[in-house]
Amino acid sequence: MHRTFGILAATLLIAACTPAEQPMPKIVPSKPSTPAEPEKTTTTYTFTANPSSLSFPAEGGTKTFALSTKASWVSSCTESWVSYAHTEGEGNETITVTVGENTDTQKARTASITFKAAGDDQGSVKVTISQEKAKVTTKIKAEATSKITLTSAMLNGSYEGAGEGCYEKGFRYGTSQSELDREIRMDGSQDDEGPISAQISGLDLNTTYYYQPFITVWSASENQYVDIPGDIKSFKTGTGALIDGTQFLVCNEIPAVSLKNSGKCSGSSFERFGDEASWYQYETTNENQLVVTHTYNDNGITVRNWTALVDKTRMTPLWSAFVMNTGAYPDNGVGRADNWVPDPAVPESWQRCIAGKIGSTSYSRGHLVASEYRQASKFANKQTFYYTNQALQEQNGFNGSVWAALESAVSSHSPSVRDTLYVTVGVLYGEPVKMVTPNAGGDAVLAPSHFYTCLMLCKFDTSGSMTDAKGIAYIYTNESHAGQKYPSGATTIDAVEAEAGFDFFTNVPSALQEAAEKMSASLW
């Protein structure tokens, strides 16, 4: 057993000491080596563009530039409003660029076209494209005239595209298309578009006028405000329809007038100082004379201010008729406007502004309707400074003394409640004739020979019926009356009617009128 164990142990020992059989190695064929690619070379090319920038006006256009290079190239553009034919090419090329219209009036615009070498090559050039912003197109249009009367019209127009805004707007007008010698301006309110309308007055009867709207804008290139005119249109006065308005001529103080259009008013429009009330004009049977009535607004009520007969040949009123009553025409102390202006109801060719001091003489403006008579409102007072309410009057010893004292007496004795003082003030042109040349030059002015005032104080009962009337008149030569009191000129209304040729206070009941016109005693 020991032997067996020994043989077995020896056998195991031999087995342990004998090397194990090794597997055959796997033979993997080696990969054939690849030849190394030659190293690529990058070429840098020179690109030039001549010119390197293109500028276009707002309306667009087409321009070219020369691209110079030896490279193959591709191109791209940053903006779609730029078009050109070549997106790729080889070497030199003439590139045509087209730009469309820029309609943006607020800003200009820019773009760029880039040309660069194709592939991995280097080199590029950029061409800049710029375009101006759209220019503001200003359109100014004359439109149809409205509210045409014998001496006035409403001019109309419109504008758009004023850019940075309209500073002023208005019209130029005149009787010749080539000479628009009158102008009216208004605030433009900085609007870039809107209407243009203006009431003009003082026009001649039956006359063709031409008018042209304009606006004033800022010009950056000229660094100043400039006027941009519109087109020219025309209209003719005297085509306005007759309207009612003779209700103002049936008042008690109005002298008798012979109207061309009986029962109708020849024309009416807004007063010069706004649309608070209207003036009314009446053609008479004498082509050289017009009757006009001026009104103003008092808390929504139309108040008649005064009515006058204006003479074309003498360029003055022959008379003015009006009412004095402290209730209807209160003294609110508004003061004097002192700004003489043309009467809108009368052709300006019939009017003349008399200078404050005429030549080397002592004549001055003499009111017919005194400024102190109309202190109810500034508007009412301004109407007393129309050219049609003045006549040459000796200042020293007359306008500043006797006449002023009479005006003050009339004003201070103005009645109230139902009592009413009716007044007609006028001028006479007798001998000797005096022609005076104004300071400003021009044609001589005919000075009246006399000034007069006719007064009729009337009383009314509660029903509105006139119950009593008293009258008196004052007349003076147009010269100094130094040292005299205003009663020195007292006379009867009948006497003044005989000199003037007018029938005063014709709407007062005849029995009362006839008696009052024979009186010459003071009313107060």
pLDDT tens-digit series, residues 237-291: 976 667 888 889 999 999 999 999 888 888 888 898 876 789 999 999 999 999 9
Which tops the pLDDT comparison, 320 or 9?
A: 320
Beta-carbon contacts of residue 376 (< 8 Å; ≥ 6 apart): 298, 303, 329, 330, 331, 332, 334
Say which residue the tokens 């139902």 belong to.
Answer: 418
- Whether residue 213 has a cis bond before it, omega within 30° of 0: no
Q: Could you read off the pLDDT of 64-116 as tens digits, one per residue?
A: 999 999 999 999 999 999 999 889 999 999 999 999 999 887 789 999 999 99
pLDDT band at 5 (very low <50, low <70, confident <90, very high): very low
Mean pLDDT for the stretch of residues 319-324: 98
| pLDDT beyond 80 at 443 | no
The pLDDT assigned to 8 comes to 40
| pLDDT beyond 70 at 10 | no
CA distance 72 to 116: 8
Identify the three-state secondary structure at position 10: helix
The pLDDT assigned to 452 comes to 98
Domains of the chain with bracketed CATH:
48-131 (2.60.40.10), 139-236 (2.60.40.10), 246-516 (3.40.570.10)
CA distance 169 to 184: 8
Whether the model clears a pTM of 0.75, i.e. scores above it, the answer is no
Among residues 205, 97, 198, which one has the least CA distance to residue 151?
Answer: 205
> C-alpha angle with apex 503: 498 to 505, nearest 5 degrees?
125
Cα–Cα distances in angstroms (integers) from residue 439 to residues 317, 353, 433, 435, in the given order: 21, 11, 19, 13
The pLDDT assigned to 139 comes to 92
Pairing of strands 390-394, 363-367: antiparallel
| pLDDT beyond 80 at 317 | yes
* 318, containing H or E segment: strand 316-324
**Residue 151 near residue 171 (C-beta atoms within 8 A):** no
Pairing of strands 124-131, 53-56: parallel
Identify the three-state secondary structure at position 74: strand
Which tops the pLDDT comparison, 211 or 220?
A: 211
Token representation of residue 353 = 């502004």
pLDDT band at 379 (very low <50, low <70, confident <90, very high): very high
Mean confidence (pLDDT) of the chain? 89
Residue 308, amino acid: A
Residue-by-residue DSSP string for 462-489: TTS-EEEEEEEEEEEESS--TT--GGGG
As a whole number of Å, the end-to-end CA separation of the chain is: 187
pLDDT band at 12 (very low <50, low <70, confident <90, very high): very low
In DSSP terms, which residues pair with 365 in a beta bridge?
392
CA distance 336 to 384: 9
CA distance 121 to 124: 10
pLDDT band at 208 (very low <50, low <70, confident <90, very high): very high
Identify the three-state secondary structure at position 389: helix
Largest Cα separation within the chain, whole Å, is 196
